[in-house]
Amino acid sequence: MVSAISEDSVSASASGQCVVVKEELPAGNYILVAVEIDTTGRRLIDEIVQLAGYTSKGNFQQYIMPYMNLNQAARQRHQIRVISIGFYRMLKSMQTYKIIKSKSEVAALMDFLNWLETLLAKQPNKEGIVMLYHDDRKFIPLHDLGGAQEVLPD
C-alpha cells in the first residue's frame, strides 16, 4: 500500500513569479517500478543507450543501438562501444569484449510498455503503476516516456 506521493512542479505565473504546484497521487495499492535510463549525455540530441526497470516480481533490461557512435565520455561511463562489421553496427562490451544484443529505440520502448502492461495484468488487484526514477541529474525526464505512447503504434 502506497500512501499519498506528491510531486512538486514549478511553473512561472503571468507576473513572472514562480508558483509551486503540488500534485498528489491518491493512496492506493500500486506496483512500484524502479526505472533506469542510461543516455549518452544530458543534451537534447543525446540518445538513450539502455532502458531498465525493476520490481519485486521481475525486471526489464534492454540496450538500445544509438544512431551515432558514442563519444569518449559515454564509452567510459557505460563501458560499451559501437563497432561496425561490414554494413552492420553493433554494441560491444568493453569489459567482456562480447557483442551486446540491442534494439532500436522504438522497439525497446514498445517492449518496455508491453512489460509494464504485463505486470499490471498479472496483478489485477493493483490500481496502477508508480514509476520511480532515481537520477535527477539526467536530461531525459521520466514523464517523456508518457509521450512515447502517443508516438508508438498500437
pLDDT at 66 over 60: yes
State residue 65's pLDDT score: 84
pLDDT tens-digit profile of 103-146?
999 999 999 999 999 999 999 899 899 888 866 554 444 445 55
Spatial neighbors of 140 by CB under 8 A, at least 6 apart, are 37, 39, 48
pLDDT tens-digit profile of 36-52?
887 777 767 677 888 99
pLDDT at 63 over 50: yes
Burial group, residue 120, by CB count within 10 angstroms (0-12, 13-18, 19+):
middle
Q: How far apart are CA 140 and CA 126, in angstroms?
A: 28
Query: Which sequence spans correspond to the domains of the chain?
Result: 30-145
When the pLDDT of each residue in the chain is averaged and rounded to a whole number, the result is: 77
Q: How far apart are CA 71 and CA 61, in angstroms?
A: 22
Q: Are 48 and 37 in contact (CB under 8 A)?
A: yes
pLDDT tens-digit profile of 72-89?
888 788 888 888 888 988
Class of 30-145 in CATH: alpha beta
| 17-28: average pLDDT | 68
